[in-house]
Structure 1
């Protein structure tokens, strides 16, 4: 395990180098400017689409706009928002939050383009079913000569879609909040029992297919965001006098990088802080990675731009709202300076300090719902990748591999799980962003026509 950990630490550092940063953030900024900020101007229209004003049962697809966004959000609004933010602040200080925001704003534009393409260039699988996602818009939009890029994405997606980080952090939370305080020592056995329990719950939902996943997600996600929002507001109210100073510190520390604890990059700690914030932001909202287009590609609509606008709301909810709430909790309670904890344990410390006695239990409920809903969506992404590679007849085998990986995530280290997912997310981003940048003019042509008609 130590050798594996060292390998993926090096692999993660290598793939998240300057070229990928330029592709993911530089490409996102290009799309932002290239679109002339048009998607942002129609934010209100996006909410109308989400509410079902333009739903048409006659359109091709499997699920509604709302179900598509909730399926995508159930994978992004998860442990990245609770544990990922804590990892970023523990390593980079308050300034890391600013670069997560940058990732979120740029990600809104990226999601607009990638998810518009998911509808614009839907393909058919070997069973004749309409499908969307990077592998299909690469094949349909760029042609069969680019198939190697679609295959590369799908292979990386088989590992990138595994739920190992979510499971790892949920297991850690159950140990820290529920078992250890009640005299049950953390051990391999307790981790394995938690893993088996999660595997059973996941199996019940994911073996039911997209319809069950989307319906479950559309009920869980809105409820969990509201519940978490209320819990965090209580913590912020208790510490209201220090909120302005810490909010200011996010901006000043973003360029001073005085609290960064890792190795310098690109000749200094600021470069390393930027990469840290972007990586954690990308892990949180998954913009440019290519997972969300697979969910949005199944939407019942014939209007690509409409789905792009709905998808754009994802990073706004995920990074600019939920991640900010977690970050402010950790900052205003001061645990980022007084505790050696990392990941979900650091967020739990913030809840415990602000609401002694019951705060950690509130967080545990949030974590459980966040994590379990994420488990459902990721299985759908991996299944789609496998069905593209070897056919729909064999795609269900991925679910068994996926469920087995839950046991691995529950019983291994946080560092290894972060590095594995970071590595494969980076590999998924390369074909997704390359194809999106090449096909961006096609999206803008459709966008101009759509907004003109509107």
Structure 2
């Protein structure tokens, strides 16, 4: 009797999980329809043109601002330009670059990367506008601390009557920035690439996933309970190192088969318009896949980056927008391209049924037998943990907006719990849930930015005229002048 009851319970659980998977997949498909695609890509194109192609023309100036040439030590805020970019990129240069690219290629073919490039280029314009607004409209808390993000852009830029739109963003942000995808993928790669091949496993894979998830949760907890400053400090040290390490690894793979590089790029361009995607061969499907994975990779238009850049020490909003726009260039156009080339050059994507990070691991193993797997595991660990650290800050901001600044610390406990849950869920459920919430976050972010775009344009013209006239001076030159006079 007990056995029959147990069997029926398992069947019922499987049925319910299947229904949940279907509901979540339906939600993701609904949100990532043509209207959102037009909003993200069309909005990005509008921002790019409306700014008079500023992301291209002001690229060098943006780098100067990033490296602190225009820093004002007396500016209000909590973190530096570099700290803001490093922390926002800690969230974007993560599993979206390793696993997300693999998912895009398996779902849409190599041509999906081309549409990721397009989305990233347009995303530079979007990030400039959203992150400029994040400094223009900041919330001043009772303790004098400044805080930015789409919630405050909406309520302070558009007015309190728009607060329901800000609430929509915050609710979707609570779920969209949960760490389930990262914890799922990092436990997957450690289990499949390290433990199981070395005979370290249990008869019940769920138990092993649970143990790994608890370990990840403990390590993340040590950082996030230290607050924003500890998160930023860790990001400033780890992000440059992780990008360099990953570039060296993939650079080796590319050099080994360098003669395949031209053919790989030719395949990316031809497949982008040929309609030979795995998903039914429809060009629209390839574009949607590229846009989704680009959004997951660089988050342009989603609204997470403004939450970090809004905390920067800066009284020149345009400068923060310029720094922020560098993110998609580094994240998607550079790092995602490296991952795609590794997968395409090695040919592991052909006929493979691997999911996400496993496909990238196969590419590393193919080019660098034995050592390749462990190098990718190291990259995955660094990428995942930096994302896990930063996402907690985003989620706590959304929580604070909804339930009060004084309750933000409670969110970290929920965040840690979902790390463990994500480690045992299937990747399909996790990626569809996050994708759906990202799409939901994009709606209030893009709508508010489009409505406030004229104010950004006016501020940009004013900033550039002051910069040209010499009114805005380089801080590093001022310091040198003081040293000479002394």
Give the shorter-chain TM-score range.
over 0.9
Q: Is the Cα–Cα contact under 8 Å of residues 125 and 388 in structure 1 kept in the other structure? A: no
1:193 aligned to 2:211? yes
| Map of 1:20 onto structure 2 | 36
Which structure is larger by alpha-carbon Rg, 1 or 2? 2
* 1:185 to partner: Cα distance: 3.5
Q: How many residues align?
A: 449
Match of residue 298 from structure 1: 311
Deviations 1:301-336 (A, max 9, x none): 000000000000000000000000000000000001
* Aligned partner (choices 239, 244, 252) of residue 270 of structure 2: 252
Deviations along 1:228-279, one digit per CA (max 9) or x if unpaired, are: 0000010001111111011111111000021x12246xxxx10111101100
Structure 1 unpaired stretches of 5+: none
What corresponds to 1:234 in structure 2? 252
Aligned to 1:222: 240
Q: Which residue of 94, 109, 119 maps to 2:110?
A: 94
Q: Distance in 2 between matches of 1:126 and 1:419?
A: 38
Instruction: Name the structure 2 match of 1:316.
Output: 329
**2:14 counterpart residue number:** none
Q: Which of 118, 123, 129 is residue 107 of structure 1 equivalent to?
A: 123
Task: State the shift of 1:152 in Å.
Answer: 0.8
Deviations along 1:29-83, one digit per CA (max 9) or x if unpaired, are 1111111102321111111111111111211100000000000000000000000
TM-score by length of 1: 0.98
Unaligned runs of 5+ residues in structure 2 are 1-16, 468-486
Equivalent position SS for 1:393: helix
Aligned counterparts, 1:387-426, within 5 A? 387-426=400-439
Secondary structure (helix, strand or coil) at the match of 1:341 reads: coil
Contact 1:126 1:392 in 2 (8 A): no
SS in 2 for 1:396: helix
CA distance in structure 1 between the aligned counterparts of 2:452 and 2:68, rounded to whole angstroms: 28
CA distance in 2 between partners of 1:252 and 1:176 (Å):
34
Question: Residues of 2 paired with 1:283 and 1:300: CA distance?
Answer: 27
Secondary structure of 1:336's counterpart equals: coil
Contact 1:99 1:277 in 2 (8 A): yes
- Structure 2: distance between partners of 1:8 and 1:185: 30
Moved more, 53-62 or 417-426: 53-62
The alpha-carbon distance between structure 1 residues 14 and 263, as it changes in their structure 2 partners (threshold 3 A), is farther
Match for residue 328 of structure 1? 341
Q: C-alpha distance in 2, partners of 1:165/1:25?
A: 25
In the TM superposition, 1:342-381 aligns within 5 A as 342-381=355-394
RMSD: 1.0
- Please name the residue that 1:261 is paired with: 278
Taking the aligned partners of 2:324 and 2:460, their CA distance within structure 1 comes to 14
